[in-house]
């Protein structure tokens, strides 16, 4: 099982784009996405210093454009990707890269959204002096208790040994004066308290724009930052990405889902290294590949072929299939079980895990062809539950 991941803000370094732009095809495609974004991304990825590319308005479109064009270098024939990739996930702004790679939105839509996302988040950050601090090591429960005590948000939960706190400068200073036991605090060079209530104005702006974005159900399962659930309904992918601007990144739950899927290989798109580093600590025995420069492309393709087995969504179009969002026990809805035709949005049951109980609906509806599970069955993330035939189709 191969999972492709896309990094979030902070992964960029000065000059990281230079070797990629030596390839004329890459440079041409990159120039197109930079034009859509209205930002001179080639300059910022090759000549600008670390402080300049730290700017949210620059860093976010720079990361998304790089990931999307590098994906075309990795899979020159995009259909090959659908035969190999089992799931995709992106950390924070990397979710836009993942969504476009899975064909839920177009690359051009991703660039417009990321441009507006960066601007709106920068404006929200400027309203109040806020920041973020990484907490390394320590006891998880003690750390969460300390954050609650000081009114801080665990904005990034990246797995064992790494939680990022976010809030006002005063709250972060109070945490520094009263740190959790056996934990090391590292203030981050970011513009504000991302993924907290301080970003609510940015959510409002993106929500208004998202109304006009046409979406498709992804060709590859998308693992959501919100809760680690598998998402295969296009509007839900977009809605979650917008809301996630002001809610914590639960990368720890994304890693749990990857484990539940049976991942054997994780490849991180450039500028790579951050997410593969986390995966090495959290998912022992899973191979990782950090794609940093174009001279690694042949090795990266070999890595994909070694671990790739494709997705059930590619062989069964998403409008005919409803899949499980998470690992757990499936409970069949008695009303749905008695029907031959399901209306769009009709509930088919729920999946109960140790953490919560998730309702599952037939987003597009349709004629019931066959149930692929029974009441009480154990299911995995992305496992098909029911096959539906579109209403009115022959």
What is the distance between the alpha carbons of residues 207 and 138, in angstroms, rounded to a whole number?
A: 37
pLDDT tens-digit map of 130-176: 999 999 999 999 999 999 999 999 999 998 889 999 999 999 999 99
Assigned token pair, 20: 């990629």
What is the distance between the alpha carbons of residues 212 and 234, in angstroms, rounded to a whole number?
A: 13
310 has a pLDDT exceeding 80: no
Compute the mean pLDDT over every residue in the chain, rounded to the nearest whole number: 94
pLDDT classification of 78: cutoffs 50, 70, 90: confident
* CB 321, CB 387: distance < 8 Å: yes
Before 140, cis peptide (omega within 30)?
no
pLDDT tens-digit map of 2-34: 999 999 998 999 999 999 999 999 999 999 999
In the set 28, 77, 91, 92, the catalytic residue is 92
pLDDT tens-digit map of 218-266: 999 999 999 999 998 999 999 999 999 999 999 999 999 999 999 999 9
Which domains does the chain show, CATH number per domain? Answer: 2-124+197-313 (3.40.366.10), 127-187 (3.30.70.250), 319-389 (2.40.50.100)
What is the distance between the alpha carbons of residues 379 and 328, in angstroms, rounded to a whole number?
A: 6
Instruction: Look at residues 19, 98, 105, 89 and name the one whose alpha carbon lies nearest to residue 64.
Output: 98
Q: What is the CA 303 to chain-centroid distance, rounded?
A: 21
- Least confident residue range of 73-87, 152-166, 348-362: 73-87
195 is catalytic: yes
What is the distance between the alpha carbons of residues 183 and 60, in angstroms, rounded to a whole number?
A: 30
Strands, E assignment, the chain: 2-6, 85-90, 130-137, 153-157, 162-168, 183-187, 222-223, 230-231, 265-268, 287-290, 321-323, 328-332, 341-342, 346-352, 357-362, 366-371, 378-379, 384-389
Q: Residue 114's pLDDT is what?
A: 98
Q: Residue 393's pLDDT is what?
A: 46
Q: Residue 212's pLDDT is what?
A: 94
pLDDT tens-digit map of 92-106: 999 999 999 999 999
What would you report as the CA-atom Rg of the chain, rounded to the nearest whole angstrom?
21
Rounded to the nearest 10 degrees, how much is the dihedral formed by the CA atoms of 126, 127, 128, 129?
A: 20
216 is catalytic: no
In the set 18, 91, 150, 195, the catalytic residue is 195
User: How many other CB atoms are there within 10 angstroms of residue 335's CB atom?
Assistant: 12
Q: Residue 316's pLDDT is what?
A: 47
Q: Residue 177's pLDDT is what?
A: 95
Whether pTM > 0.85 for this model: the answer is yes
């Amino acid at each position: 099982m191969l999972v492709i991941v896309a990094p979030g803000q902070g992964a960029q370094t000065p000059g990281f784009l230079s070797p990629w732009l030596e390839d004329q095809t890459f440079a041409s495609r990159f120039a197109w996405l930079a034009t859509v974004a209205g930002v001179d991304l080639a300059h910022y990825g090759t000549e600008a210093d670390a402080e300049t590319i730290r700017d949210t308005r620059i860093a976010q479109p720079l990361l998304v454009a790089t990931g999307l064009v590098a994906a075309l270098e990795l899979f020159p024939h995009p259909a090959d990707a659908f035969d190999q990739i089992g799931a995709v996930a992106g950390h924070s702004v990397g979710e836009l890269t993942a969504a476009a790679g899975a064909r839920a939105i177009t690359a051009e839509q991703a660039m417009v959204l990321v441009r507006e996302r960066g601007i709106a988040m920068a404006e929200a950050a400027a309203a109040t002096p806020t920041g973020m601090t990484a907490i390394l090591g320590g006891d998880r429960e003690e750390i969460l208790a300390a954050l609650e005590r000081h009114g801080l948000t665990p904005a990034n939960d990246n797995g064992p040994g790494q939680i990022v706190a976010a809030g006002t400068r005063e709250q972060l200073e109070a945490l520094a004066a009263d740190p959790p036991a056996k934990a090391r605090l590292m203030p981050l060079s970011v513009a504000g308290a991302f993924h907290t209530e301080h970003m609510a104005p940015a959510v409002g702006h993106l929500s208004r724009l998202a109304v006009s974005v046409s979406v498709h159900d992804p060709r590859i399962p998308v693992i959501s930052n919100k809760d680690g659930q598998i998402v295969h309904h296009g509007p839900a992918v977009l809605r979650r990405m917008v809301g996630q601007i002001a809610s914590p990144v639960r990368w720890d739950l994304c890693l749990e889902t990857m484990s539940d899927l049976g991942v054997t290989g994780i490849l991180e798109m450039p500028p790579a290294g951050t997410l593969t580093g986390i995966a090495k600590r959290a998912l022992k025995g899973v191979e990782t590949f950090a794609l940093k420069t174009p001279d690694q492309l042949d090795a990266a393709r070999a890595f994909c072929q070694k671990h790739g087995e494709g997705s059930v969504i590619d062989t069964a179009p998403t409008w005919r299939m409803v899949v499980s969002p998470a690992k757990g026990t499936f409970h069949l809805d008695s009303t749905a079980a008695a029907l031959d035709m399901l209306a769009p949005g009709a509930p088919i049951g729920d999946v109960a895990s140790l953490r919560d109980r998730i309702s599952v609906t037939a987003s597009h509806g349709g004629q019931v062809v066959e149930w692929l599970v029974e009441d009480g069955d154990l299911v995995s993330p992305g496992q098909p539950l029911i096959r539906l035939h579109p209403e009115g189709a022959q």
